[in-house]
A and B are shown apart, each in its own frame.
Chain A
Amino acid sequence: MSGATKKDSQAADAVPAPRSGDDHAFLSVRNLSVHFDTDDGLVKSVDGVSFDLEAGQTLGIVGESGSGKSVTSLGIMGLHTSERARIGGEIWLDGEELIGSGPERVRKLRGQKMAMIFQDPLSALHPYYSIGAQIVEAHRVHNKVDKKTARKRAIEMLDRVGIPEPHRRYEDYPHQFSGGMRQRAMIAMALVNNPQLLIADEPTTALDVTVQAQILDLIRDLQKEFGSAVVMITHDLGVVAEIADSLLVMYAGRCIERGTAEKVFYEPQHPYTWGLLGSMPRIDREQTERLIPVKGSPPSLINVPSGCAFHPRCPYADVPPDNITRTERPELQQVSDGHYSACHMSREQRERIWTEEIAPKL
């Protein structure tokens, strides 16, 4: 198809140019795809996602359930163990390509150079092993130290993440911890080897609001202290608003908007991003109107809607001419320096709608 080459060349603008050797960003994801062969068909959970993340910076990946944000992060960690997973593209971590290197190499990096914390710490911690034993285990996989040293290190980490009486709590089992403490323990476990990349997959979703703020503060403090890069995955824009340097908005397995947090928050270019902003509760404003939900539900990843995957739910689907939203998939286009969006509407149309219709209601 001739259209395909045209699209590819457009996409190339949006993909940050691959840099060679030492010039790579600390984490550099190029055209990542994760597809699953299922009996019902090919599920394109992630379909061509690219981004760069420098050391010490935080990237927020935002999207609904099923948008592919968790699948992306598990892909970086090399945790898609199913034989049905098909992973494509490139992942460069500190100058080393991960997808092409063997699983054994990636295993050695996991927990050492890159670590991950998960959504629900109760189910993510093993119920039969004490908190201390699980942290010690994480430390000793990658460090040849005796149990005593590892134990000391684990207690030190528990103390660092704010667990009171770490000597005593070391012996406790996950069910004896509260939700927030469990997530702290999970963070201690992830950071025990000073990883340079920390991926947090909805780290606060299972926690109540006051604890959420504490956990986010903790992650931010630790990031400053260790200088690690953080990928924060969430469906809650409020979570990333404060800590992310850049944002990536995902929809149906693709990136639909990407840019600095400031640009995406204050000059969002995609109707889906507007929808996310509209459905976010704000406590800094007087409540005058109800939250505006994004109508409809996330699309099937087997039969992704033709054209722009968001068109069935997009109130502006008919703004661009010639039914193009239903026939042609929009590629990421640069809006301004480092700010990309995948929408068929012209920049003028988008800016007019944003300033006249959307922004006043937020």
Chain B
Amino acid sequence: MTRPPARRRTAVAAYIIRRVFAAVLLLLVVSAVTFAIFFLVPRLGGQTLDSMAAQYVGKSPDPDVIAAVKKNLGLDQPLYLQYWHFIKGIVVGAEYQFGPDPVTCNAPCFGYSFKTHTEIWPQLVDRIPVTLSLAVGAAVIWVISGVAIGVVSALKRGSFFDRISMGVALAGVSLPMFFTGLVVLALFGNGEYVPFTDDPVAWASSLVLPWCTLALLYSALYARLTRAGMLETMGEDYIRTARAKGLKERKVVVKHGLRSALTPLVTIFGMDFALLLGGAVITERVFSFQGLGAFAIQGVTTADLPKVMGVTLVAAFFIVICNLLVDLVYAAIDPRVRLS
């Protein structure tokens, strides 16, 4: 390809900088809102500072202990100060006065669970690779299979292949994850998650079943979306132009048809993938993987707010990042988006 002229390159650079700046701002807003939800909403719901502090003390609490906890956790401070401490903790770490010895929470400190007496961040770091492995592998499978099936279905509309694959796709979309997951488990048994760095082969083989289970659901959806997109695009005037040029049908389909048909899929993929990165809750549960989703469930069932808060922030981070990537990819694909 020819190099784009300078004016276009600077425009693209400006666009990227603008988008990154907006993404950082968005993350700050998300963290503030999340913080407010976890620390303000309980109060609006009728909880007092005392009852919030009481969660961290054993049964039949002593008022003095509650008052101490309240002070140590900073619950008596204004909310904006608490938020400030939280953000500061992410950057420089934090120290909590809890019990006889102070607890240090190293930067980036995403909170401290007073129920399990653990820092949140190291646990998140342990679990992100699990969820990431699950999501990336499944995404590769579902995108390739979904798009391929969708394209062939569209080009051979009404054929035997089309009918069968769309029937299976409908089933795939309709079957809930916990059902297909359990069927797969019953048929093939369960494997333990092996980190990629330990043994890539064992890593892949431990993930094949969850990948396929998770991919079935999305693949079905993507096949249907691709098919619909291709049917629409192949009827466009510019496809007729491409044929009128004398291009080979294969090139017409891939270069002119598929490229347009896939554009809306980029947005959907970005969202689906980002949501998965925040925790493939059911898949992790079914296959007993210790990922972010399982961590969030654990936090919720034990009312351990810092854990839930930590997962929420990580999930929000992934969504913002994926959205940014989607926008950049979109601008690369569709020149009409670029300069406006």
B8, B256, B260: the one contacting A171 at CB < 8 Å is B8
Check A124 against B245 for contact (C-beta < 8 Å): no
Main DSSP-derived SS at the B contact region: helix
CA gap between A186 and B241 in the complex, in Å: 9
CB of A79 closer than 8 Å to a CB of B: yes
Chain A stretch 84-109: residues in CB contact (< 8 A) with chain B: 107-109
Q: A123-B237, A171-B8 are in contact. Are A151 and B245 (CB under 8 A)?
A: no
Check A137 against B247 for contact (C-beta < 8 Å): yes
A109, A115, A124, A151, most chain B CB atoms within 10 A: A124
- Cβ of B244: which chain A residues have Cβ within 8 Å of it? 77, 79, 110-111, 115-116, 118, 190
B243, B248, B333, B336: the one contacting A79 at CB < 8 Å is B243
Chain B stretch 222-264: residues in CB contact (< 8 A) with chain A: 236-238, 240-249, 256, 259-260, 263
CB of B100 closer than 8 Å to a CB of A: no
Q: A108-B246, A171-B8 are in contact. Are A128 and B259 (CB under 8 A)?
A: yes
- Cβ of B237: which chain A residues have Cβ within 8 Å of it? 118, 120, 123-124
CA gap between A151 and B3 in the complex, in Å: 13
Number of chain B interface residues as a range:
20 to 34
Main DSSP-derived SS at the A contact region: helix
Check B243 against A127 for contact (C-beta < 8 Å): no
CA gap between A330 and B245 in the complex, in Å: 38
- Cβ of B333: which chain A residues have Cβ within 8 Å of it? 128
CB of B4 closer than 8 Å to a CB of A: yes
CB of A175 closer than 8 Å to a CB of B: yes
CB of A210 closer than 8 Å to a CB of B: no
CB of A138 closer than 8 Å to a CB of B: yes
CB of A189 closer than 8 Å to a CB of B: yes
CA gap between A173 and B238 in the complex, in Å: 14
CA gap between A138 and B242 in the complex, in Å: 8
A74, A115, A127: the one contacting B334 at CB < 8 Å is A127
Number of chain A interface residues as a range:
35 or more
CB of A336 closer than 8 Å to a CB of B: no
Looking at the assembled complex, report how far the CB atom of B264 sits from the nearest CB atom of chain A, in whole angstroms.
Answer: 13
CA gap between A116 and B336 in the complex, in Å: 26
CA gap between A137 and B248 in the complex, in Å: 12
Check A138 against B245 for contact (C-beta < 8 Å): yes
A interface residues (Cβ-Cβ under 8 A, vs B): 74, 77, 79, 81, 107-112, 115-116, 118, 120, 123-128, 130, 132, 137-138, 141-142, 147, 151, 168, 171, 173, 175, 186, 189-190
Q: What are 23 contact pairs spanning A and B, CB under 8 A?
A: A74-B240, A109-B246, A110-B245, A110-B246, A111-B244, A111-B245, A115-B244, A118-B237, A118-B244, A123-B238, A125-B238, A125-B241, A126-B238, A126-B242, A126-B256, A127-B335, A128-B263, A132-B2, A138-B246, A141-B246, A171-B2, A175-B336, A190-B244
B interface residues (Cβ-Cβ under 8 A, vs A): 2, 4-5, 8, 236-238, 240-249, 256, 259-260, 263, 333-336
The 3 closest A-B pairs by CB, nearest first: A111-B246, A110-B246, A123-B237
